């Protein structure tokens, strides 16, 4: 294995060898290959080799416990389960290389991505070669990738963001990558000197802004900063713009469709908006209301959930739109604005309360870094609005400020102060864990 730098030619040669190694292990088209490893170039090679032999790639978060992995292995029944990527690659060096990919059609399965499964069993979103190709080509054009770009890659690769979005854009343009095993302030700051594009989650950008060494000069070489996987606070958006002169490009995606919308490369990028649907994506608001659950149809939308025909049927409308579960609206210009997850909707006293509306007010308050609004059981209202806040403040005064800007039923009945919010691997706040933590706030 080459040290330090890997050329695309070397990558191609190694992938061909690994593909031969997969075949020697009995992998045939349609078989699943599961991977639970640390981020490494070898892991990327195994991904590409899996596609090359016509098999189905199944990445697993290396933070999953043994019992969690046992569920995935039982459900997906992979031919191979790899937990040592460098070791597997070393073994494959003795295999007969596969010179050409085994032909696959656009409708053939390429990958299964298991959703985080905050309620019930995790679902395996089945993404075809056509799904991945359509999304990659659309993003490559939308974000203006060229061979002149250098991608700073600090994302994990067990998720669509780091695996499909970032890698495919670089591969399609033959652009170099600065490969980091994880996000590290010092390494990212060093990499910015040579990179032109960085993709990240909101916590990447808040951590950079918290570092005094992250200056306008540090970002001067960059062409584009992209953010996704979790909502970006308007305050972070504004602070980043002030600090660097760059406007972060926020986009919206999910495991079942990769990227759905994006702010424009050329044109206004508005704080809080995730931009416009990608070409080919048909997006509508379900229910006929101004705000509702987002429904989508298009070439990158997944085909089904693995071995869950009933769940698949529930998640699609009669006319073929996927019900995302994300609540949002489209403005007069066609921009999309996300309010939150439908499951996070609070119904208090019979009224619908969207947490995002309250979070935006709290986040603007002095000494508040970030907030998460949840509904907890209440004997009179069914659910009571509560806020969990990173920061400090006077609870009574903050509730009064909310009541001055919101209808009374929307204002928090309690505010709890914490040092951190629970997050998943991609930086999304896990509100289900917050609801469990504060479930007894208003005893019956």
Tell me, yes or no, whether 275 lies in a domain: no
Contact 304, 316 (CB under 8 A): no
Give the number of other CB atoms < 10 A from CB of residue 267. Answer: 9
Tell me, yes or no, whether 356 lies in a domain: yes
Choose among 342, 366, 367, 369: nearest CA to 356: 342
Tell me, yes or no, whether 378 lies in a domain: yes
Distance CA 195, CA 224 (A): 10
Which residues are CB-contacts of 286 (< 8 A; sequence separation ≥ 6)?
292, 293, 294, 295, 317, 321, 323
Domain of residue 422, residue span: 345-437
Distance CA 292, CA 341 (A): 10
Contact 269, 275 (CB under 8 A): yes
Residue found under tokens 């203006």: 144
Distance CA 178, CA 150 (A): 7
Choose among 281, 304, 305, 303: nearest CA to 294: 281
Output DSSP code: residue 270. -
Contact 286, 292 (CB under 8 A): yes
pLDDT of residue 117: 52
Report CA 291 to chain centroid distance, whole Å: 23
Tell me, yes or no, whether 379 lies in a domain: yes
CA distances from 54 to 36, 111, 181 (A): 20, 10, 27
Q: Which residues of the chain are under the pLDDT cut of 50? A: 1-2, 118-119
How many helices (DSSP H) and strands (DSSP E) are in the chain?
A: 14, 22
pLDDT of residue 120: 60
Choose among 250, 249, 196, 251: nearest CA to 219: 196
258-262, strands of its sheet edge to edge: 177-179, 151-153, 197-200, 224-227, 249-254, 258-262, 273-277, 336-341, 322-330, 292-297, 282-285
Tell me, yes or no, whether 426 lies in a domain: yes
Give the model confidence (pLDDT) of 148-196 as tens digits. 999 999 999 999 999 999 999 999 999 999 999 999 999 999 999 999 9
Tell me, yes or no, whether 433 lies in a domain: yes
Contact 53, 23 (CB under 8 A): yes
Distance CA 340, CA 117 (A): 16
We report the CATH number of the domain holding residue 352 as 3.30.300.30
Contact 229, 204 (CB under 8 A): no
Tell me, yes or no, whether 192 lies in a domain: no
Contact 428, 159 (CB under 8 A): no
Tell me, yes or no, whether 294 lies in a domain: no
Domain count, the chain: 1
């Amino acid at each position: 294995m080459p040290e330090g730098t890997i050329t695309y030619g070397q990558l191609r040669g190694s992938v061909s060898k690994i593909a031969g190694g997969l075949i020697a292990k009995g992998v045939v088209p349609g078989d699943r290959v599961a991977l639970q490893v640390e981020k490494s170039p070898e892991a990327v090679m195994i991904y590409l080799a899996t596609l090359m032999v016509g098999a189905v790639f199944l990445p697993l978060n290396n933070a999953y416990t043994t019992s969690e992995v046992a569920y995935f292995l039982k459900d997906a029944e992979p031919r191979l389960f790899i937990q040592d990527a460098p070791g597997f690659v070393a073994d494959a060096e003795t295999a007969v290389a596969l010179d050409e990919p085994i032909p696959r059609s656009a409708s053939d399965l390429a990958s299964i991505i298991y959703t985080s499964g905050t309620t019930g069993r995790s679902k395996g979103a089945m993404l075809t070669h056509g799904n991945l190709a359509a999304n990659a080509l659309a993003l490559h054009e939308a974000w203006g990738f060229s061979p002149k770009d250098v991608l700073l890659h600090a994302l994990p690769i067990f998720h669509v963001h780091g695996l499909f979005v970032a890698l495919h854009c670089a591969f399609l343009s033959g652009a170099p990558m600065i490969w980091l095993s994880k996000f590290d302030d010092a390494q990212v700051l060093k990499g910015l000197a040579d990179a032109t594009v960085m993709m990240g989650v909101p916590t990447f950008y808040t951590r950079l802004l918290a570092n005094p060494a992250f200056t306008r000069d540090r970002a001067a070489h960059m062409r584009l900063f992209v953010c996704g996987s979790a909502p970006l606070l308007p305050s972070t958006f504004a602070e980043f713009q002030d600090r660097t002169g760059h406007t972060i490009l926020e986009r919206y995606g999910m495991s079942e469709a990769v990227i759905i919308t994006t702010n424009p490369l050329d044109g206004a990028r508005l704080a809080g908006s995730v931009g416009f649907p990608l070409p080919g994506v048909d997006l509508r608001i379900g229910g006929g209301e101004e705000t509702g659950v987002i429904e989508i149809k298009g070439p990158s939308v997944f085909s089904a959930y693995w071995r869950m025909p009933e769940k698949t049927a529930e998640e699609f409308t009669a006319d073929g739109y996927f019900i995302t579960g994300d609540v949002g609206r489209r403005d007069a210009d066609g921009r999309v604005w996300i309010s939150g997850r439908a499951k996070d909707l609070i119904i208090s006293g019979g009224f619908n309360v969207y947490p995002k509306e309250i979070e935006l007010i709290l986040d603007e308050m002095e000494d508040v870094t970030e907030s998460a609004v949840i509904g907890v059981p209440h004997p009179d209202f069914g659910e009571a609005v509560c806020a969990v806040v990173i920061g400090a403040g006077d609870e009574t005064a903050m509730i009064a400020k909310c009541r001055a800007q919101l209808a009374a039923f929307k204002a928090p009945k309690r505010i709890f102060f914490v040092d951190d919010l629970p997050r998943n691997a991609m930086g999304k706040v896990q509100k289900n864990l917050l609801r469990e933590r504060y479930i007894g706030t208003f005893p019956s």
